Structure 1
């Protein structure tokens, strides 16, 4: 489990095929900042651009580790096949860690496309077009993970092409993650909020009837008004 708080920015240093065809997947060599691997062991989980991966080899002297990624994972994620690309890293959450972002599983739900990324005053506005399949999980002020970073949705605009979400990025986030490398047309990994996933499932199963949801909303509105 992760929280969407990036613990380092690495770089794809090498890409090797695991077999004679693309169906075998690939082995990625990741270079990391000095000292990043001091508390990392073989078999540990590290999220790469939001996708949970397993450390298969370690080379602390060279500040590198490798992961093996299946063809299916490569097909369902973005940003992991470009040699030299910077990627966001997050080590798995420990019981003693602070939950600074939100609960993140490291399982990518879909790939979005950056439609706009530009400075606005002292911050940056990032707009991403998400697939139709994720539309029902996106909400104003809700949480979403973009390339492994826990972020808050400022607005949602549904269209025939999908749902465009707007995110405000502070300078610290732009400077300390790989999000600053994005541009219009870039593809990004998206993971929806775990709570939204379970609410959707309960609605499908009839556990939360529409009338019950309306009653909850009415009660909440009354409480906040008081």
Structure 2
């Protein structure tokens, strides 16, 4: 029985993703973002069938394990676009560094304006990098790791939905710039959307995601105290 439920959850997830991806490619509407819409569909199916998080957990763990190979696979589009990266290495490094600094400063400024407590502000700071690194930064800085993980997921979701729209609104059409912006601000989910836009944007998103994680891990212990009350 458990094996049947496990297989059903895997099929459900894959089916929802393929269906929502097809819708997104067909209509290019922000709210049809595959991650966002497939998540809603999976929740709805589980609710309708009486499924629980515990039922879905084994399938989730299997798919989470595949994130490692999927991240490594980003090396392929990066290799195919190695000349682009080589020719624009300095702008790429500068853009990701400035973007990492700016996103931390912006969210802390907004949090302070909203009157958030110091621990919440610390938890918010590393929201734009991948969960394992963000959680460790938060823990070492005195934040709440669980809260940081939630902020990271929310940032990826919102950024992958609104990021392409905002970039288009301000007439950013260059795939290098779009990929760097999405990868820097929205980590893996932004990179996934960049890959849908094209191989070059996806490659730059992968580079930005990795560089932003490294930069944030290095600068956060010194940068966060400067911005906090």
TM-score (normalised: structure 2): 0.24
Higher helix share: 2
Higher strand share: 1
